[in-house]
A and B are shown apart, each in its own frame.
Chain A
């Protein structure tokens, strides 16, 4: 069995975001593998280690820099990596376009039986691209999974909801997206970091995968940082007076009571 894991390179959630020319500035911002995708990679490697798969392949859409993220996955234990890129894809937030490209790449990578991914990317919170690609490919999808078993041509997945849990079965090939309780991703070991560069990393253009990207069905019209926090106001004076003053402010200024 072959498992494909789609990943995205994102900035760290601790990074201080700067907006430059209508886009998030990536200068000096540390880039990582989207943490939810790490759970997917870990799961794929685990399945392989337990004899449930022969090959784990990672796939991403991204510029050259995204190769670092792929390499981390190779160092964790993936066998091969693919990166698709075209400068026309640089426009941010064109999720429908990415989905088309991803579906094209996944079509070209066939045959594979299991498609894994993180359930959401922490940078844009969209949770749409790989799901839409799976729709295009016509395969079942089980989303936001906390426990996963693969065997006998099917996946059995557990989904945790507030107050109950659901067990879902789907025939392979299928897409499963990972939630954080699925596993604890391993660190790439030092020897595996050094070995990672000897593993194949293939770069595809849109032509290679036979896809015309087209243009997004929607346009981002604004991107702004949240307004800076204004300073807190401290009401001074004797407790009785201060309480009255505070209630007054809550009514007249904050307009919450």
Chain B
């Protein structure tokens, strides 16, 4: 290890505090059950300490784990992670951070989602590959916590939430990627009520490693004789190592790692191929007591993982953006365009003074801030539902928002996060392409996020096929009402009037497009729906981001009035206003264009026959 361990992670603490306490005002529900243990001061201190920990202990390892990657031993069928990452995991647990989101029942702090998601931005942003292990463990543990039998809960939850064992989700198989229903792994019931599991799972994040003595896989498999497709799938708890009666780790449970992928990014996250039952000695335990519930159970984890994926993309994009700002402030290159144009002999300037660099920095800024607002809004709605109480009308309204925003957070953040990181490289110029600077790694690490946890097209189908129709369109109606209220409040406003109007118009194009989908369906033009789905998701995300940025700008404008221009907060608030304006004036106009393209019913992509593409095959 020749290179120094330097932290490049830059957290955007001020923006996060703004969103939590000034825009979404989570302090209004903190202190209320089930978050009665949490006050605003707790949340602020947690954020403060998490930043300290991540910038000193985590961010320093990001390029190191990228260089080292994971090592697979084919003889033993095991994987080792970079040694310093194991050390980091130990520190992370010593400092109790793994307990943040864990339920109180298992010794956790059960923090509000808005707080834990904000904090996860720091951990993920500082070292995404490492943060995945604990994120997935939390998801797997929650499945057992929610659906497991009392015995299963008592065995696994304390150990998984406590950090002793980690967990995974095993869906994907060679022939079952986006099409989960083609799952071929089988489960045969043994006399003692357990199941014999056989099959191969691929692309399993954290599928094998040496950070914990045991790994608890949650694997989808089909019980002998069960129906085809997703409805015949059941979910099994399959430990890597058998567990003795006293809870200690026993011998192998015949789950063998046959290899790990050599990937573009997140190299320290072991992406494993797992063979279950090669020696017919793999035992699985049905999660809970009902068979054939696998898919609906797995969806709890999937939804959580989708939000986590969006957050992961945001965390990398945000640090890429902030690094680019820092670089642009220092790099001296080129004279101002206006000086050249007017023949002045001006000095060379730092590149932040160049128009094109400012355009890129502001595009990154407004997208990152919009994306973060989208994510923390989702989290705050989830928290408010919990405060309102399960089953109440208020809770179902809040949860409606969570459901609507989940595919937007997953897909829009991972698509745009990648683009933000690519812009960051552009700001650096050629230096951005080399490993001496952090931005190329962000770009590589982000790319996976549009692919896993359901590709972004799958997200757009979830939005168009499921969420748009839910409750007779109630979810979108709610969003549209909230946006319209903001537009009405400010359309005559001197400061934000024209931007509010532009938002109102974009909203009109968005809701108009939802009508188009209904028409496509009624007229039997089914192929137009998947063709437009991705584009529509982007439209809705852009309208929602613009709405949240404008809402933030209004708050910022008010707060600025009490400050003098030399205050740091004044600059922050002024920056928020510029974010909203740039997004609304430079990004949002694309919504109209997309609406027109969808309404034009262009079918070129369907009309082109497959032999009209060059006749090349896959290698």
| Interface contact A191-B347, CB-CB below 8 Å | no
Residue contact A189 to B45, C-beta cutoff 8 Å: no
- Given known A68-B45, A72-B45, contact A187–B52 (CB-CB < 8 A): yes
Chain A residues in 8 Å Cβ range of B563: 27
Separation in Å of the A139 CB from the closest CB of chain B? Answer: 33
A27, B569: Cβ atoms closer than 8 Å: yes
Contacting residues of chain B (31-67) with chain A, CB-CB under 8 angstroms: 37, 39, 41-42, 44-46, 49, 52-53
Q: Which residues of A contact B97 (CB under 8 A)?
A: 190
Q: How far is the CB of A205 from chain B (nearest CB, A)?
A: 22
Residues of A within 8 A of B39 (CB): 197
B-chain residues with CB within 8 Å of residue A196 when the two chains form the complex: 45
Q: CB of B507 within 8 A of chain A?
A: no
What are the interface flags for A149-186 relative to B under an 8 Å C-beta threshold, 1 for contact and 0 otherwise? 00000000000000000000000000000000000000
With both beta carbons as reference points, the residue of chain B lying nearest to A71 in the complex is identified as B45
Q: Does B94 contact A (CB under 8 A)?
A: yes
Does B567 count as interface, using CB distance less than 8 angstroms? yes
Q: Note all chain A residues with C-beta closer than 8 A to B94.
A: 189
Asked if residues A20 and B566 are in contact (CB atoms below 8 Å), the reply is yes
Q: With contacts A28-B572, A68-B45, A197-B41 known, is A191 near B99, CB below 8 A?
A: yes
Q: Mark A6-29, 1 if CB is under 8 A from B, else 0.
A: 000000000110111000010111
Q: Is the CB of A189 within 8 A of B568?
A: no
Q: Does B109 contact A (CB under 8 A)?
A: yes
Bitwise, A200-242 to B at CB < 8 A (1) or not (0) is 0000000000000000000000000000000100000000000
List the A side residues contacting B95 at CB < 8 Å: 187, 189-190
Does A94 have its Cβ within 8 Å of any Cβ on chain B? no
The answer, yes or no, to whether B100 is at the interface (CB within 8 Å) is: yes
Cβ-neighbour of A191 out of B44, B53, B109, B569 (below 8 A): B109
Query: Do B109 and A190 touch across chains, with their CB atoms under 8 A apart?
Result: yes
Give A192 to B42 CA distance when docked, in angstroms.
11
Q: B74 at interface (Cβ–Cβ under 8 A)?
A: no
Q: Is the CB of A231 within 8 A of B99?
A: no
B83 at the interface (CB under 8 A from A): no
In the complex, A154→B97 CA distance in Å?
39
Supposing A68-B41, A188-B49, A193-B49 touch, asked if A20 and B564 sit within 8 A by C-beta, the answer is: yes
Partner of B37, one of A18, A194, A231: A194
> Which B residues are CB-close (under 8 A) to A16?
568
**B96 CB–A CB distance under 8 Å:** yes
Query: Is A193 a contact partner of B45 (Cβ separation < 8 A)?
Result: yes
Find out whether the CB atom of B568 lies under 8 angstroms from the CB atom of A27. yes
What residues of chain B lie closer than 8 Å to A29, measured between beta carbons? 568
Inter-chain CA distance A191–B568, complex, in Å, is: 32
Q: Is the beta-carbon distance between A71 and B41 smaller than 8 angstroms?
A: yes
Chain A residue at smallest Cβ distance from B119: A190
**Chain A's nearest CB lies how many Å from the CB of B60?**
14
B42 near A194 with CB under 8 A, answer yes
A142 interface residue per 8 A CB criterion: no
Of A18, A75, A189, A193, the contact of B566 (CB 8 Å cutoff):
A18
Residues of A within 8 A of B44 (CB): 68
Please tell me if the beta carbons of A191 and B96 are within 8 angstroms of each other in the complex.
Answer: yes
- A194 in contact with B567 given A71-B45, A75-B45, A231-B347 (CB within 8 Å): no
User: CA A15 – CA B13 in complex, angstroms?
Assistant: 13
B-contacting residues, A102-158, CB 8 Å: none
Interchain nearest-CB distance for A27 vs B (Å): 4
Residues of A within 8 A of B570 (CB): 27-28
Q: Are B42 and A193 in contact (CB under 8 A)?
A: yes
Name the distance in Å between B63's Cβ and chain A's nearest Cβ: 22
CA distance A46 to B95 in the complex (A): 17
Docked complex Cα distance between A29 and B568 (Å): 7
Residues of A within 8 A of B37 (CB): 194
Nearest opposing residue in chain B for A231, CB measure: B347
The interface centre, meaning the residue of A68, A75, A190 with most chain B CB atoms within 10 A of its CB, is A190
Residues on B with beta carbons closer than 8 Å to the beta carbon of A20: 564, 566-567
- Are A28 and B109 in contact, CB atoms less than 8 angstroms apart? no
Q: Which A residues touch B41, using CB under 8 A? A: 68, 71, 197
A239 to chain B, nearest CB (A): 21
Instruction: Evaluate contact between B567 and A27: CB separation under 8 angstroms.
Output: yes
A193 touches B46 (CB 8 A): yes
Q: Which residues of B contact A72 (CB under 8 A)?
A: 45, 49
Within B545-574, the residues touching A (CB, 8 Å) are 563-564, 566-570, 572
Residue of B nearest to A29 (CB): B568
- The reply to whether B564 and A194 contact each other, CB–CB distance below 8 Å, is no
Contacts of A15 in B (CB 8 A): 568
B contact residues around A19 at 8 Å (CB) = 566
B569 close to A28 (CB less than 8 A):
yes
* A213 to B45 CA separation, bound complex (whole angstroms): 32
Q: Is the pair A25, B566 in contact by a Cβ cutoff of 8 Å? A: yes
B243 to chain A, nearest CB (A): 27
For B568, give its contact among A28, A75, A190, A197 (CB under 8 Å).
Answer: A28
Which residues of B (82-104) have their CB < 8 Å from a CB of A? 94-97, 99-100
A18 CA to B564 CA, complexed, in Å: 10
What residue of chain A has the Cβ atom nearest to residue B56's Cβ? A187
Minimum C-beta distance from B14 to chain A (A): 8
Contact partner of A190 (CB less than 8 A), chosen from B13, B99, B347, B566, is: B99
Question: B573: nearest residue on chain A (CB-CB)?
Answer: A28
Set of chain A residues within 8 Å of B109, measured between Cβ atoms: 190-191, 194
- Give the chain B neighbours of A189 by CB distance below 8 A: 94-96
Contact with B along A71-85 (1 / 0, CB 8 A): 110010000000000
Q: For residue B70, give the distance in angstroms from its CB to the closest CB of chain A.
A: 27
CB contacts (< 8 Å) of A192 on chain B: these are: 96
Alpha-carbon separation in the docked complex, A196 to B49 (Å) = 13
Which B residues are in CB contact (< 8 Å) with A187?
49, 52-53, 95
Bound complex: CA A28 to CA B52 (Å)? 18
Q: How far is the CA of A196 from the CA of B41 in the complex (A)?
A: 11
Query: A28-B569, A71-B41, A231-B347 are contacts. A190–B564 as well, Cβ < 8 Å?
Result: no
Nearest 9 pairs of A and B residues by beta carbon: A28-B569, A28-B568, A190-B96, A27-B567, A189-B96, A18-B566, A189-B95, A191-B96, A27-B569
Instruction: For the A-B complex with A25-B564, A27-B563, A197-B42 known, give 4 more contacts whose Cβ atoms are closer than 8 Å.
Output: A19-B566, A191-B99, A191-B109, A192-B96
Cross-chain pairs A/B with CB under 8 angstroms, 25 sampled? A15-B568, A16-B568, A18-B567, A18-B568, A25-B566, A25-B568, A27-B568, A27-B569, A28-B14, A30-B13, A68-B45, A71-B41, A72-B45, A188-B45, A189-B96, A191-B96, A191-B99, A192-B96, A193-B45, A194-B37, A194-B42, A194-B109, A197-B41, A197-B42, A231-B347
The residues of B with any CB-CB pair to A shorter than 8 Å are 13-14, 37, 39, 41-42, 44-46, 49, 52-53, 94-97, 99-100, 109, 347, 563-564, 566-570, 572
